[in-house]
């Protein structure tokens, strides 16, 4: 799928799935803004890989939950590359506690940490990028959600609520930004990134057993689905959720 001439912002692309999405978009020909909040060295390395694939890269430190920093990121993308065609809202708060904390132990801090990054962050980035996209009469927003938002889950209550909010945001934005901007979500199952290190053998086996394909997904397999949603091949799709989970959730 050809993304030559397109400009993409990928939030949280210093590592994990965001990194793979940035690299797949670059392989497709897009210039990419690599966003991070803490992992500066990793973000620089991603930028080098993007450049090695023949695309332009811009590294921007911005906390997605901070409106000023988000607006500045979008402004810098526009100034450097002249447009913003693709926004991938991927940045997510992560900790082992997030998964295994019981209802009675969930703190207000955990609630706001997760909501601020995963949900408010996606809203702020979409709001800032939409302004540019509406002006261009062209744009694609892809929001990264998670299968607990589709099917429920015994783990990660706050996370499930935030990722459910992402699906609502996707539908609301799809209506609000039609017809020139298409907005879709990807609900991910178990993808092999940093969090897998926190699982013990039994937990890994039980996650694997849930999937028809009996393996964790690879970040680049998510990246390729995002490339499809970022390309003209998906022009007649908006407000949809694509499930990428090795066949754990089937509806």
Using CB under 6 A as the binding rule, the residues of this chain from 28 to 87 that contact ligand NAP are 35-39, 63-65
What φ, ψ does residue 238 adopt, rounded to 5°? -155, 145
Residue whose C-beta lies closest to ligand NAP: 16
Do 59 and 34 meet the contact criterion of CB atoms below 8 Å apart?
A: yes
Tokens of 223: 């990246």
Choose one: 49-57, 78-86, 97-105, 188-196; the region binding ligand NAP (CB under 6 A): 188-196
For this structure, is 159 an active site residue?
A: yes
Q: Does 182 bind ligand NAP (CB under 6 A)?
A: no
Q: Distance between CA atoms of 101 and 250, rounded to whole angstroms?
A: 27
Q: Which of 30, 98 has the CB closer to ligand NAP?
A: 98
Q: Which of 28, 92, 139, 223 binds ligand NAP (CB under 6 A)?
A: 92
Q: Distance between CA atoms of 207 and 218, rounded to whole angstroms?
A: 15
Q: Which helix (H) or strand (E) holds 176?
A: helix 157-177
Query: How many residues make up the chain in this entry?
Result: 251
Q: Does 234 bind ligand NAP (CB under 6 A)?
A: no
Choose one: 49-57, 80-88, 177-185, 190-198; the region binding ligand NAP (CB under 6 A): 190-198
Taking the complex as a whole, the smallest distance from the CB of residue 179 to ligand NAP amounts, in Å, to 28
Q: Does 91 bind ligand NAP (CB under 6 A)?
A: yes
Q: Which of 141, 157, 188, 248 binds ligand NAP (CB under 6 A)?
A: 188
Q: Does 194 bind ligand NAP (CB under 6 A)?
A: yes
**Measured in Å, how far apart are the chain's first and last C-alpha atoms?**
27
**Beta sheet of 57-61, edge-to-edge order:** 57-61, 31-36, 7-10, 86-89, 139-146, 181-188, 241-244
Using CB under 6 A as the binding rule, the residues of this chain from 112 to 171 that contact ligand NAP are 117-118, 144, 146
Q: Distance between CA atoms of 147 and 249, rounded to whole angstroms?
A: 7
Sites of contact with ligand NAP (CB under 6 A) = 11-12, 14-18, 35-39, 63-65, 90-94, 117-118, 144, 146, 188, 190-191, 193-195
Annotated catalytic residues are 159
């Amino acid at each position: 799928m050809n993304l030559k001439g397109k400009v993409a912002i990928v939030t949280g692309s210093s590592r994990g799935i965001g990194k793979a999405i940035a690299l797949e978009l670059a392989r497709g020909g897009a210039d990419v803004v690599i966003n991070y909040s803490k992992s500066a060295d990793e973000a620089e390395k991603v930028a080098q890989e993007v450049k090695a694939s023949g695309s332009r890269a811009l590294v921007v430190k911005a906390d997605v939950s901070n409106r000023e920093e988000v607006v500045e990121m979008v402004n810098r993308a526009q100034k450097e590359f002249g447009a913003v065609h693709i926004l991938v809202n991927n940045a997510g708060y992560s900790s082992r506690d997030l998964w295994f904390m019981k209802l009675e132990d969930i703190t207000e801090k955990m609630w706001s940490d997760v909501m601020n990054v995963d949900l408010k962050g996606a809203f702020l980035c979409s709001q800032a990028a939409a302004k540019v996209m509406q002006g261009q009469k062209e744009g694609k927003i892809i929001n990264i959600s998670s299968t607990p938002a589709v099917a429920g889950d015994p783990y990660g209550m706050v996370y499930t609520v935030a990722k459910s909010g992402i699906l609502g945001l996707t539908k609301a934005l799809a209506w609000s930004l039609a017809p020139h901007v298409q907005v879709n979500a990807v609900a991910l199952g178990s993808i092999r990134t940093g969090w897998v290190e926190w699982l013990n053998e039994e937990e890994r086996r039980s996650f694997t057993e849930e999937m028809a394909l009996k393996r964790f997904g690879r970040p680049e397999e998510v990246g390729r689905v995002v490339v499809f949603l970022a390309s003209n091949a998906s022009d007649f799709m908006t407000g949809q959720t694509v499930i990428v989970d090795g066949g754990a959730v089937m509806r």
